[in-house]
Structure 1
């Protein structure tokens, strides 16, 4: 399969398919995930963009995970191979192709590093992540924020930033824009995740 696959179209179809497979109305799913039925309807029909912080409660209500909702598969890419960076304490699984036409890359990351980089990174753009398990320590300039399981964060990457695991391994779904993709996933720079920035 060589045609481009639109990630949001895939997510919308999976949400609707899982809801219908359970025999649930929009109201039934709304009651389980804390969103309104009209919001869910607009998400399913493409009249509203899907926000990353909406994915977690929808996935949980449908009995699935965020990474299963966003995973793109094709005849060419059946197996997703992890990219390990032992020096920086993380492993990355790309859930979208790096050449996505909209420029966004979705990845699942497992972070074990507990010490922030010597110098937090700075680059143009924005980043978003949702914590699947564990607790994240997000340094933004002088501030240190704790982001717990089920919570999301988004921030300008022009602010010096570093992301590490607070207590034990951390698993996140992260969305990089074009600039973030270059900063974190460029193999020539040896980057493969937010802990290296």
Structure 2
């Protein structure tokens, strides 16, 4: 099957699935999108090509968007792949594809190198919880060990750095836009 054929089949499946999930017959959906039931049936079964001018009212009637009906079917919208930064001793998984409220991003990090000697500052706040291992947080003049199951939250206007202590550590971070630029760039 061609890529266009694959997409057509998925769109048809989505239309049929959304209609069935709402408990609607072909007649009910047809009346809501101003198509004949036979046209809608041929669209769902693949006996008729789907035209753009038909997709828009179908999507509207089903309470979805055209984008959602035809969105990608590859696994990149599902699988979160790690980004390795060997130089910084860090592997990152971006768990939020779009910034959340206040522009925050959620990321899982695996850190393997110790906390850098150079402390940095940036506007905002950082928050993390340690999933495994121990993280050394250098915060101004203080050195704080944050262990598995513990969390840290601090103003990033205080000079800071963090890294692994006595072996790799994994942490879950919530970063504001400034933290994203600093820690994920």
TM range (shorter): 0.5 to 0.7
For 1:121, the equivalent position in structure 2 comes to 120
For 1:18, the equivalent position in structure 2 comes to none
Residues 20-31 of structure 1 mapped to structure 2, 5 A cutoff: none
Structure with higher Rg: it is 2
Asked if residue 183 in structure 1 is aligned to residue 182 in structure 2, the reply is yes
Asked if residue 78 in structure 1 is aligned to residue 114 in structure 2, the reply is no
Gaps of 5+ in 1: 1-74, 186-190, 192-197
For 2:130, the equivalent position in structure 1 comes to 131
Cα distance change, pair 82–76 in 1 and its aligned pair in 2 (3 A): closer
Query: d(CA) in 2 for partners of 1:155 and 1:101?
Result: 19
Encode CA deviations 1:11-51: one digit per residue, 9 max, x unaligned. xxxxxxxxxxxxxxxxxxxxxxxxxxxxxxxxxxxxxxxxx
For 1:141, the equivalent position in structure 2 comes to 140
Query: d(CA) in 2 for partners of 1:141 and 1:90?
Result: 22
Cα distance change, pair 97–129 in 1 and its aligned pair in 2 (3 A): same
Cα distance change, pair 98–84 in 1 and its aligned pair in 2 (3 A): farther
Encode CA deviations 1:62-118: one digit per residue, 9 max, x unaligned. xxxxxxxxxxxxx8621111111101101000110244353110000000002x324
TM-score normalised by length of structure 1: 0.53
Q: Give the paired residue count.
A: 112
Encode CA deviations 1:129-162: one digit per residue, 9 max, x unaligned. 0000001100000100011100000000001111
Q: Hey, which of these two has a bigger chunk of helix by percent?
A: 2
TM-score normalised by length of structure 2: 0.57
**CA root-mean-square deviation:** 1.8
Query: d(CA) in 1 for partners of 2:83 and 2:182?
Result: 15
